[in-house]
Amino acid sequence: MSRGNDNGQWTSDEMMTVAAARELGDEAVCFVGIGLPSTAANVARRMHAPNAVLIYESGCIGSRPDHLPASIGDGVLSESAVANVGVVEIFSYWLQAGRIDVGFLGAAQIDRFANINTTVIGPYDAPSVRLPGAGGAPEIAANCGEVIITLRHSRRAFVEELDFVTSLGHGTGNGCREQLGLRGQGPSAVISDLGVLRPDPATKELKLTSVHPGVSVDDVRDATGWDLQVADNYEVTPAPTFEELTVLRKLKAVS
């Protein structure tokens, strides 16, 4: 589904991907999830972050794929990597040891403190929907310096209460991660197809800090399952540039 597009020049998914790509700093060492995060990270590497190091949990370190990987273990990731290591090593020596600056994750559901559910909808023992599960996300969310999350906005995805916390964001609010002894700072941004949410520094509750062009604050509130806080000085996300769109579309075309 595409929406929030005010001019027919780009889709809301493209806006989301470009906005997510802008979050990744040059020279960041980034642990990348497959799908939207991987697309965004590879756009970033072709734009403002040529020195970003992309790490995939299949053990590929410093991958520079010329097309988007279809899976986390796509051959292009290992062929273009600086180093290939085993899965035990990637999680233990590289992620757990604190060598990763940014974790880039997708999600099925998220709550106001950016906790993530990718496990079940409904009771665990009798789920109405069985989702794929944790994969690498819990320890990516725990151990990276910061975490960027990207997912499409809807009331089914942005929920008041999660049925299952697969990966911890800011838990129950400010101080929760520190209390649990987690080393990483947790989610710093949630990028959706409608806008950008960031944790309030005092409470760690997600606040709408930016709406994408053509999207109103009410649109975002309507698609959010809790009473969404809005920053006083919220902005309109700069529209995708011609160059960003060209890079993204080229990448998609060869994949």
Partner 1 sequence: MGEFLSLREAVARYVEDGQTLALEGFTHLIPFAAGHEIIRQQRRDLTLVRMTPDLVYDQLIGAGCARKLIFGWGGNPGVGSLHRMRDAVENQFPRPLEVEEHSHAGLAERWRAGAAGLPFGVLRGYVGTSLADHTKTIASISCPFTGEELTAVPAINPDVGIIHAQQADRDGNVMYWGITGVQKECVLASCHSIVTVEEVVDELAVRTGGVVLPAWAVDAVAVVPGGAHPSYAHDYSDRDNDFYAAWDPIGRSRDAFAEWLAGVVEGES
Would you count residue 138 as binding partner 1 (CB under 8 A)?
yes
Residue type, 149: I
Closer residue to partner 1 in complex, CB, 186/240: 186
How many residues line the site for partner 1 (CB under 8 A)? 52
Rounded to the nearest angstrom, the gap between the alpha carbon of residue 36 and the centroid of all alpha carbons in its chain is 8
The string of DSSP letters for 188-205 reads: EEEE-SSEEEEE-TTT--
- 1, 8, 88, 202: residue in contact with partner 1 (rule CB under 8 A): 88
For residue 219, the minimal CB distance to partner 1 (Å) is: 27
Contact 162, 111 (CB under 8 A): yes
Which among 6-14, 138-146, 206-214, 233-241 is the span making contact with partner 1, rule CB under 8 A?
Answer: 138-146
For residue 133, the minimal CB distance to partner 1 (Å) is: 5
Residue type, 219: D
Would you count residue 143 as binding partner 1 (CB under 8 A)?
yes
For residue 229, the minimal CB distance to partner 1 (Å) is: 22
Question: Which residues are registered as beta bridge partners of 106?
Answer: none
How far apart (Å, rounded) are the C-alpha atoms in residues 30 and 61? 10
How far apart (Å, rounded) are the C-alpha atoms in residues 42 and 101? 16
Contact 171, 116 (CB under 8 A): no
- 133, 235, 243, 246: residue in contact with partner 1 (rule CB under 8 A): 133
Would you count residue 82 as binding partner 1 (CB under 8 A)?
no
Would you count residue 176 as binding partner 1 (CB under 8 A)?
yes
Would you count residue 50 as binding partner 1 (CB under 8 A)?
no
